Amino acid sequence: MTTAAPALGRRMPGWRLPISRIRVLQLLGLAMFLVTWQLLGSRQDYLWSTPQLVATDMIELFAEDDAVLLVLASLSSLVIGLAISVVVGVILGTMLGRYRWFSVMFEPYLVAVYSVPRIAFVPLMVVWFGIGRDFVIASVVAACTVLIVFATAAGVRETIHVYAEVAKSLRITGVQYFRSVLIPGSIPFIATGIRLAVQRGIVAVIVGEFLVGVKPRGIGEMLRNARVEANADRMFATAIIAMLVGVLLFLITGFVERRFSAWRPKVF
Amino acid sequence: MARLIEPGTDAPADRTGPLAALAGRRGFRGRAWNDSVLRIGSLIGILLAWEALSRILRPIIFTSPGKAVEALRKIVADGSLAEAWSETLVLLVTALSLAAVAGVTLGILLGRFRTVSDLLEPEMTALFLTPRIALLPLISLWFGFGDLAKVVVIFLFSFFEIFFTVRNGVRTVDAEYVEVARAYCIPERVMLLKVVVPAALPYVATGLRLGLLHGMVGVVLVGFFLENNGIGGLLYNEAQDFRIAGLFAGLFTVALVGIAMNQTLRWLERRLAPWRTGAAA
């Protein structure tokens, strides 16, 4: 042994467990959960399914059915709806943050919209948009726009608070004030708003497809069929796919948000 | 959620707005007066736009403010509104009490005892991130279409909000107070009741508010999807029969209840934790 003893308080290299204690516990918990489910579920697998059956069904979904296409169809509805929400939301949010009279006039209504469960509007939206893809896109817009409006308004207010004086002394006014001060200053806030909106938007897509059944099929449609067939394996498989899509979006948007707000101290 | 984008806070005074000069000259009372003029103006504007739209669009897809008020009066008078809401409120109160008890207890315990929490973490997070609607078919498979299934759905909608808010709250509190308490050699059992629980109280209030808001979504949803009664069922039936005015009236009551609940619980939150200015939404 030629290496010197490691200094007190420092971990000896090579002696560390390859994974942390928390990971071990989490994997253990997951294994326990799966084993319990397998044992209990196999008594009445038409009702409770089992991990094995769900896994088989999921492989089937991807291999034989067009699960990837369904996910992409749902995601494309999300992207279109989100694009509309961002445009509308940023415009309204900038107005709200910049002009006090605008916020005095319309903020109470926007807060009201925020507090109302949007699902209640589904019947009305079916009447307005039919049961096609328009409905799904409209429900994404309904779910996401308010979040982006408030995020943008908060960003613009914060930017005014910090930069209004500097902009004034540099004689930045009019369109330039919006273009080079307010919008760039509020981008981190808008990014946060978009992250929250994506989370809510994907739920809106699935709910929309599930409730009204849309022609270009999506994840929600898959769920709808599973329900009609009372196929527990398929329901679990779909729920897990929906979850994976949600997690994936969560990670991607989190990464993008960090990219866009690198200079800003973490406030929430 | 984000502290800075929680809506409902008043707009900060913007000294560069077009009304700033006016407001400055007239002082505070002038400004308040101005605001109410603006608010009344926007209300009248919205009502006029609504009326105008109802004249342009076909009555099958849109209705006028007058007809909506009339429909509201009708469903109030024949008792169908009261019946729907009483069914809904019974379900909501049952499910929410269960979710509150389970969520707060588990939140405090798992916030305090990390080992158990780490063990259950993946399942909890997975369930939280799964759109709750994806579980709806499974729930109706297991519990049918009646009140039991409805309570389960509403429970699932509100439980996770309460649980995660309380758990994160307990963890935040932990580091600060527990060390002090340890320094005074307070035993673990006493610590839980005398230190952790009181300190977590504001988070409980926030969790309950979020749980209630999400529970409202569940309440409406079960009316669409399971047995069509309650307020969700009322909306569903009005829409099925293309009674748009009735649908508007029903939506109005949902909005009113949602706003009232949100405001009441916000107020409660501020009472419980006056030192926290709108954190952890």
DSSP per-residue letters across B174-218: HHHHHHHHHHTT--HHHHIIIIIHHHHHHHHHHHHHHHHHHHHHH
pLDDT, tens digit (0-9, with 9 covering 90-100), for B21-45: 444 444 455 677 788 888 899 899 9
- The reported pLDDT for the residue numbered A137 is 92
Lowest mean pLDDT among A63-72, B22-31, B51-60: B22-31
| Interface residue B2 vs chain A (CB under 8 A) | yes
Average pLDDT for B150-160: 93
Nearest CA in chain B to A119: B217
Predicted TM-score (pTM) of the model is 0.80
Chain B environment of A118 (Cβ under 8 Å):
217
pLDDT, tens digit (0-9, with 9 covering 90-100), for B76-112: 999 889 999 999 999 999 999 999 999 999 998 888 8
- How far does the CA of residue A1 sit from the closest CA of chain B (Å)? 37
pLDDT, tens digit (0-9, with 9 covering 90-100), for A140-153: 999 899 999 999 99
pLDDT, tens digit (0-9, with 9 covering 90-100), for B191-209: 878 888 888 888 888 899 8
Class in CATH terms, B69-272: mainly alpha
Which residue of B42, B129, B142 is in closest CB contact with A246? Answer: B129
With vertex at residue B216, the alpha carbon angle to CA B210 and CA B220, rounded to the nearest 5 degrees, is 155
Average pLDDT over all residues of chain B = 81
pLDDT, tens digit (0-9, with 9 covering 90-100), for A70-129: 899 899 999 999 999 999 999 999 999 999 889 888 888 888 887 788 888 888 888 888
- The reported pLDDT for the residue numbered A16 is 60
Q: Is B88 exposed, middle or buried (0-12, 13-18, 19+ CB in 10 A)?
A: buried
- The reported pLDDT for the residue numbered B10 is 41
Lowest mean pLDDT among A141-150, A238-247, B268-277: B268-277
Confidence of residue A216 (pLDDT cuts 50, 70, 90): low
- The reported pLDDT for the residue numbered B9 is 41
- The reported pLDDT for the residue numbered B281 is 38
Average pLDDT over all residues of chain A = 84
| Interface residue A150 vs chain B (CB under 8 A) | yes
Q: Is A134 exposed, middle or buried (0-12, 13-18, 19+ CB in 10 A)?
A: middle
Class in CATH terms, A61-260: mainly alpha
Strands, DSSP E only, in chain A? none
- The reported pLDDT for the residue numbered A266 is 47
Average pLDDT for B56-72: 86
ipTM, 2 dp = 0.78
Q: Would you state the structure tokens that stand for residue A167, as one six-digit string?
A: 């902009």
Chain B environment of A21 (Cβ under 8 Å):
118
Q: Which residue has the tokens 């749980």?
A: B211
Chain B environment of A45 (Cβ under 8 Å):
none
| Interface residue B277 vs chain A (CB under 8 A) | no
Does the pLDDT at position A231 exceed 90?
no
Interchain contact, A105 vs B39, CB within 8 Å: yes
Does the pLDDT at position B272 exceed 80?
no
Interchain contact, B11 vs A127, CB within 8 Å: no
Share of chain A above pLDDT 90, in %: 19
Compare A45 and A262 and report the one with higher pLDDT.
A45
